[in-house]
Amino acid sequence: MSVSFQRKDRYTMEDLQKIVELLRGKDGCPWDREQDHHSIRKNFLEETYEAVEAIDKEDPVLLREELGDVLLQVVFHAQMEKEKGIFDLSDVCHDICQKLVERHPHVFGEVEADTTEQVLANWEEIKKRQKGQASAVQALQSVPVTFPALMRAEKLQHRGEKNGLYQPELSQEMEKAEAAVRGLQRAAEQNGEQPEDIVGDLLFSIVNISRFLSIDPEQSLTKACERFICRCEEQEAQRP
């Protein structure tokens, strides 16, 4: 038995909400009905990364498609909460609109901010106040644990430095990285094991060095992975 729905030549945001509602309804799709926030959590990440890939490829056709997939995830999660009577998509839209207005007082208020630096400083101060972050450490603790590790390390370092908790120098970070490499060498020579803590410290220092050199460590590693694939492709091509 099919649900009551009128096909169109062009759909709207309201249509997307209705389609998701129907898919989750009693006469909808068994798979869609069974999902919860946790079961499709990975889907949200995958769709977001695919949209990022479209941006990197500068492919507007692909980006349009992938943004639609990301939008579906937003509507899907909001629909789940609507079914529980907690919030719906209109509440999500209200909250982000309110946030944008409140955090742009130089546009919607009387605050002066003529540079990007001033805008970002105002944004962070308003964000701290709204989230009740009374200490610098709370600003660090608010960085999500679910971030990719390199991205999280970079953000923690940036916030720590900005809040006066962390004042790194390039020469010191280079020395730390070299010391970590020597530590790994000793560990490998002694028992063939590479301690996890030393590897972590090395990666953390590498992220800091990347910041000093204005290099995105996540992007840098991504490009290194692509170079690795190319080298393997060349090696395979040379096989008899």
pLDDT digits (tens, 9 = 90+) for 162-182: 877 778 888 888 998 898 888
Residue 194 pLDDT > 70? no
Ordered by start, the domain boundaries in the chain are 13-89, 136-237
212 contact partners, CB below 8 Å, separation of at least 6: 168, 170, 173
Question: Which SS3 state, helix, strand or coil, does residue 87 take?
Answer: coil
pLDDT digits (tens, 9 = 90+) for 58-81: 999 999 999 999 999 999 999 999
Q: What does the DSSP 8-state code read for residue 84? A: T
CATH class of the domain at 136-237: mainly alpha
Q: What is the CATH number of domain 13-89?
A: 1.10.287.1080
Q: State the pTM of this model.
A: 0.74
pLDDT digits (tens, 9 = 90+) for 1-53: 577 888 999 999 999 999 999 999 998 999 999 999 999 999 999 999 999 99
136-237 and 13-89 share a CATH fold: yes
CB–CB of 81/25 below 8 Å?
no
pLDDT digits (tens, 9 = 90+) for 201-218: 899 999 999 999 999 998
Helices assigned H by DSSP within 142-237: 149-162, 170-191, 196-212, 217-237
pLDDT digits (tens, 9 = 90+) for 110-123: 888 889 988 888 88
Q: What is the mean pLDDT of residues 103-111?
A: 90
The Cα–Cα gap between 121 and 229 comes to: 41
110 token code pair: 């009387």
